[in-house]
Structure 1
Amino acid sequence: MTALSTPDGPAVDQQVDVVLIGAGASGLSCVIEAAGRGARVTVIDAAPSFGGTASGAAGGTCIAGSPLQDRLGVEDSVGLALEDWITWGGDSVDVEWAHRYLLASRDVFFDHLSALGVRWISIHPHEGNRVPRWHRPEGGGKRVMSLLAHHARALPNITWRFGYRAQELVRSGGRITAVIAMNGDRIVEISAPAIVMATGGFNNSAELVAMHAKQAAGAERVLLGGGPEAKGEGIRMLEAVGAQFTELDSVWMYPYGTPDYLKPGTDRGLAVRGVDGELWINDEGNRFHDESLRGGASGTGALLAQTEGRAWSVFDAGVASGLILADPYYLDGNKINRDRVAEFLRSSPYVESAPSAAALAARIGVDRRNLEAAINDMNKAIAAGLHRDPAFGKPLDGIAPLDEAPFYAVRLHPLARKNLGGVRTDLDCRVLDSEGRPIDGLFASGEVAGMAGGHINGHAALEGTAFGPSVFSGIVAGRAVVE
């Protein structure tokens, strides 16, 4: 392999024990384990600081049999959770990795993050789970990442190289021995007996999403919801050294994405949440789905079945007061910045508002009678005290009628959020080649490895099975490179 070079060749750093590429949730978990066990680690990340996709996520985690479940009287077990996991993900689930994660989810994950200062504040039911096991951390992913970064910063023997973009893995004598990285005109080659790829997925690359997300081929637009640096560069580097990949076409998309109007000329999307009373309206002005089923295995399919894979989220002023946009710009620490959310409702060209349903229909170009009928039918079902709406079975307990002007419509497109597939690894996170053999000196964890092993979730993911397994596989990798 030909290394990048300057006229004098790349600058060569002193050899360390581990080079870690990527300072997201999985990478920081890895470096905490490795450096905490005495390894000298150099961390490379193209971003200016810690973060990755996790810093903009809710941080919710699938945990089986946690102390919080015990306190709330939720009876759960690893066996029950594994059954749900396999039923949801299908025959491509990596059962060994899934079982291993669930066994560790209480002691290694829940207790591990609790010891770092994470406070678990609630659990919630989600599609595919027979009991509530989605655990919410206080402050979301941003707070968890801050605590991980604080702990990592305090450890000795770590060199941080932010702003350095890894370019190439160097092979010598049949093993991976170094990484070449760039920062502007400066090129460095960092050698180590263990290289860990924790570079994340490719859901901020329109090219790679279009290449792999075949299920959305007919959609007008697929929005990008990965971390800013989730551009698939780690996959390119791994491909160059003969690594084996699996399930790259399993791009997990949510149906509640809307374009980020503050980033014009891009396909960046925002996740629209907190609008439980919304109605999803297609281009004919009709409802088409139970809006409470918002996951990638339910709501996304319903959205993609509509004309050009798009719809409108319609709600009133009462529902708008709870709107959440899953992006750090709309947060003040742990709280929603309501002024910025209001600014979004006023200023986004992908939002329309009107004093009545009829006027809203005219503004979004749908049939007035259909839209009015959809709202009236829902309001009548709520007024009648029904527990589910007759049309699609949406649960109505706690849902208020849509009758408070102004009325809003937010344009919805599929939002590419997670890569359920990636590079194959063994149970020690060693990267496998095309023949299934470990590539000496090379490890991978987190989303670049399909969260863990290559495809821990299979074709569909229970909520909370990205963040947890990514952190867990980082811990496994950090231990493996030392042991």
Structure 2
Amino acid sequence: MQKAIQSDVLVIGGGLAGIVTAIECLRAGKTVTLVDRDTPERLGGLALWAFGGMALVDTPVQRRMKIKDSAEIALRDWLRFGELAEDDVLPRQWASYYVEHSRVQVYDWLTESGLSFMPAVNWVERGMQGNGNTLPRYHVVWGTSQRLTRRMIELMRQADTGNRLTVLHDHEVTELESTNGVTVGANAINRATGQHVQMAAQTVVLAMGGINGSLEQTRANWIQGRPMPASMLNGAHPYANGKLHHLVAGLGAQITHAGEMWNYAAGVPHPKPHFEGHGLSIIPCKSALWLNHRGERIGPEPLVVGFDTHTLCQRVAAQEKPYVWHLLNWRIAIKELALSGAEHNQRIRDHQTLMFLKETLFGNHRLVKQMLCESRHFLVDDTLAGLAAKMNALAGTHDVRADVLQKTVDAFDANFALGDKLYNDEQIRRIEHARHWGPDKMRTCKPAPLQARGAGPFMAIQTQLITRKSLGGLQTDLQSRVLDAGGQAMEGLYCVGEAAGFGGGGACGKRSLEGTFLPGCILTARSAARSIVAGSGLSRA
């Protein structure tokens, strides 16, 4: 028997953007149905597993660190680094909206909601020529994004006075209902029972995430002319597969910038995968050497993390084989190795302040040992010859010759023949630059020979490109209303978060300043809710 549900607002997708939309609509007195394809314990989507970094502008944390940021400076950085074209009108509008409102609509709103941020601001995506973030603005939620997401779920439940919220878990939306061009609801199927559910609503909000959870869609949308590796890992949510994007496009909506993606260059298979092809994103060590499949340093300009992820991904994708090697030693690993997400950042996630400080100051031996134990892609050996043998065994080849690996390391170590007097290496220069900023200095080694006495053993990590976020999506206006081919709002239909390319169908352009995703979800969701409550989405009421 078919089940029928009626509400003011139907939110499709239980990630951060969908939950925030529900919170704001419930607080305004609306009845809300939130339908999510995943299980109850995974409500929150990818945000539940994310690290929790946010690019925020002119915050109290920045001011305490004497960082003079402004919407004007941030917008200049954003447009330049993202390479937004002049005709990217809606993405530019959303970029401007973001930098102008991230302080009040995100930072202040979250702190008023009982969340807090770590006391230091990090400096990421500086740009290869200083054309990225010209100053630090990467804030980290204390408790990671897991704490953020669970707090949002708590607030959604608290806002549900009078049983005005219906949450449907494990339900897949199969079609949207429209009458005379007006969206009036959606149909779904209960994946556990097979029951069909008809959900009628005055307003439908799409919050289903991006497309990068489907490697097939990732490849189909890959921009022609950019190098694409033969294999990739999946670091996105597997249900963010683009199906609803195309369904809505069939009704007249516009998908733009679908080929722009925010992937990461250093992924390994997840030791405890949640789904097939699940990858784990490593935050690469700045001091590690990036090597090709033969153990030769990738060049002529060496690869180094923290400056331009977009370019880094393209250079990794252009390699002869779909994997690269990171060569480092124990000294580097315990200070610099980090993994993205809440799962492997338990000191921050669980508010373990003293242990976090201890591992930051004295080395995170725990994480290094954990990964060596859990992942076969992390290798260690006392000698470079022994390491080369293990690299070949893992890859199933004889590509890495011990003498070539030795020459690679010797060539790098030659920079230190007279201390710091003969530095002539771009990676060393970038490391020295990064270490001028205190938070980076705390977790970046002073440049030194890889073969320095007492720095071993040697380590190698085999990594490959891993998908993450979609930068494009459904085109929306500043009220998060979905637009048709003529630029007109489709009545009763909104889109928020990654599904909308974080606003306008691609607010970031080709590159993100990093940390623009969680705030983008919050900003687009709150904008949609304000419009709905004001009546823009309830014209049939």
State the TM-score, normalized to the length of structure 2.
0.82
Segment drifting more, 18-27 vs 390-399: 390-399
Could you tell me which residue of structure 2 aligns to residue 131 of structure 1? 135
Q: Does 1:142 align with 2:146?
A: yes
Question: 1:298: how far off?
Answer: 2.6
Aligned with residue 3 of structure 2, among 4, 11, 18: 11
Q: In structure 1, what residue type is equivalent to 2:209?
A: G
Q: Tell me, yes or no, if structure 1 residue 394 matches structure 2 residue 442.
A: no
Alignment of 1:160-309 (within 5 A): 160-184=167-191, 185-214=194-223, 218-263=228-273, 266-273=276-283, 275-288=285-298, 289-293=302-306, 295-309=308-322
| Pair 119,386 (structure 1): closer, same or farther in 2 beyond 3 Å | farther
Contact 2:122–2:137 (Cα < 8 Å) also in 1: yes
Name the CA distance, whole Å, in 1 between partners of 2:424 and 2:154: 48
SS of 1:302 mapped into structure 2: helix
Q: Could you tell which deviates more after superposition, 195-204 or 214-223?
A: 214-223
Paired residue type of 1:125: W
Q: 1:103 to 1:259 in 2, by over 3 A?
A: same
Offset, 1:380: 4.6
Aligned partners of 2:51 and 2:341 also within 8 Å = no
2:325 paired residue number: 312
Select the residue among 44, 66, 70 that pairs with 2:63.
Answer: 70
Question: How far 1:389 sits from its partner (Å)?
Answer: 5.3
Task: Name the SS for the 1:203 alignment partner.
Answer: coil
Q: How far apart are the structure 2 equivalents of 1:292 and 1:280?
A: 10
Residue 375 of structure 1: which of 398, 409, 414 is its match? 409
Deviation (angstroms), 1:216: 6.0
Point out where structure 1 has 5 or more consecutive residues left out of the alignment: 1-7
Alpha-carbon contact 1:47-1:163 (below 8 Å) kept? yes
Moved more, 284-293 or 64-73: 284-293
Q: What SS class does the counterpart of residue 296 from structure 2 fall into? A: coil
Deviations 1:371-390 (A, max 9, x none): 22333344454572369652
Q: Which residue number corresponds to residue 499 of structure 2?
A: 448
Determine whether 1:44 maps to 2:57: no
Cα deviation code 1:223-261 (max 9, x no counterpart): 111124322233133123221110001122111112224
1:291-337 Cα shifts (integer Å, max 9, x gaps): 23464323112212321342111222233335333355435443689
Q: What does the per-residue CA deviation read over 1:27-55, in whole Å, with 9 as the maximum and x for residues that have no partner?
A: 11111111111111111111123221222
Moved more, 132-141 or 394-403: 394-403
CA distance in 1, matches of 2:84, 2:97: 17
> What is the percent sequence identity of the aligned residues?
28
Aligned twin of 1:5? none
Structure 2: state its 5+ residue gaps: 126-131, 357-363, 392-398, 436-444, 535-541
1:356 matched to which residue of 2? 383
Q: For residues 457 and 125 of structure 1, do their structure 2 counterparts lie closer, same or farther at Cα, with a shift above 3 Å needed?
A: same
Determine which of 150, 155, 158 is the counterpart of 1:154: 158
Indicate conservation of the 8 Å contact 2:431/2:447, yes or no.
no
CA distances 1:260-315 after superposition (whole Å, capped 9, x unpaired): 24339932211112633221111232222232346432311221232134211122
Task: Determine helix, strand or coil for the equivalent of 2:499.
Answer: coil
Greater shift in the superposed pair: 438-447 or 249-258: 249-258
CA distance in 1, matches of 2:406, 2:44: 44
Q: Does 1:426 align with 2:477?
A: yes
Distance 1:358 1:86 in 2: 47
1:439 alignment partner, SS class: strand
* 1:326 aligns with one of 334, 340, 365: 340
SS in structure 2 at match of 1:120: coil
Match of 1:345 among 345, 352, 372: 372
CA contact (8 A) 2:477 2:503 kept: no
> CA RMSD, aligned part only?
2.4
Code of the aligned partner of 1:31: A
State which drifts further: 391-400 or 275-284.
391-400
Amino acid in structure 1 at the alignment position of 2:425 = P
1:110 to 103, 107, 112: 107
When structure 1 is superposed on structure 2, of 414-423 and 369-378 the one drifting more is: 369-378
C-alpha contact 2:52 2:341 (8 A) present in aligned 1 = no
Q: Displacement, 1:209?
A: 1.1
Deviation per residue, 1:344-395 (Å, 9 max, x gap): 3234233332221222123224233332233334445457236965254432
Provide the secondary structure at the position in 1 that maps to 2:506: coil
> Paired residues, what number?
474
Cα deviation for residue 90 of structure 1 reads: 1.1
Check whether the contact 1:388–1:394 (CA below 8 A) recurs between aligned residues: no
The residue that corresponds to 2:97 in the other structure is 100
Q: Which amino acid aligns with 2:3?
A: A
Report what 1:3 is aligned to: none
Deviation, structure 1 residue 148: 1.1
Cα distance change of structure 1 residues 277 and 390 upon mapping to structure 2, 3 Å threshold: closer
Say whether the 8 Å CA contact 1:21–1:196 is kept in structure 2: yes
1:32 match: 23
TM-score, normalized by length of structure 1? 0.91
* Conserved 8 A contact 1:126-1:132: yes
Partner of 1:414: 465
